[in-house]
Amino acid sequence: MINFSIQPILENDTALMLPLTAADFDALYAVAADEAIWQQHPNKDRWKREVFLTYFDGAILSKGAFKIIDKKSGEIAGSTRFYDYNEQEKSILIGYTFYGTRFWGTGINSIVKKLMLDYIFQYVDKVHFHIGAENIRSQIAIGRLGANKIATENIAYYGEASKLNFVYEIRKDAYPLLLS
């Protein structure tokens, strides 16, 4: 049983993370409809409206999804979520993350992940990330945050067939050291 929110409002000077709602579909899809976003992703068709709808439905059902607002421009930069809390292991996953291409290379991913980690490490000891085996861009990004690759698994994303993913981990006891 989760005794904390996995969908709080998180904010700093750069990003505002708001709980994703059903009313956000059109605005978020306007960002996600760019085919370039999904080129390295396990589901390369997610730019298609009907495929993105499955992703979005999973996001709403997760009750841990966010729309990410770039505070400088006021635009939706992308989305991410907390999911699969494991009470016994005191672990949770962060994933299903994407950003519009105009936000690539701006540092927003690191900023958002730090907001999420600072918050969630109040409640868990480990955070895991599923990253597609072909998604080199995300593997590099998660490595920059200090995550360690701990496994290779076939993962079935919500409503999709299983695909080869790498599992990365950041531990609470190592996290403060990663920031120094």
Asked if residue 42 has pLDDT above 90, the reply is no
CA max distance for the chain: 43
Q: Are 137 and 98 in contact (CB under 8 A)?
A: no
Cβ neighbours of residue 71 closer than 8 Å, sequence gap 6 or more:
11, 13, 14, 15, 16
The model's confidence at residue 168, banded by pLDDT at 50, 70 and 90, is very high
Q: Are 142 and 128 in contact (CB under 8 A)?
A: no
Asked if residue 60 has pLDDT above 50, the reply is yes
Residue-wise pLDDT for 66-107, tens only, equals 999 999 999 999 999 999 999 999 999 999 999 999 999 999
Residue closest to 16 by CA, chosen among 84, 82, 92, 67: 67
What is the helix (H) or strand (E) element at residue 31, kind and residue range?
helix 25-32
In the chain, domain spans? 10-126
Burial class (CB in 10 A: 0-12, 13-18, 19+), 3: exposed
The model's confidence at residue 4, banded by pLDDT at 50, 70 and 90, is very high
Residue closest to 141 by CA, chosen among 90, 91, 78: 78
- In the CATH hierarchy, which top-level class contains the domain 10-126? alpha beta
Burial class (CB in 10 A: 0-12, 13-18, 19+), 115: buried
Asked if residue 41 has pLDDT above 90, the reply is no
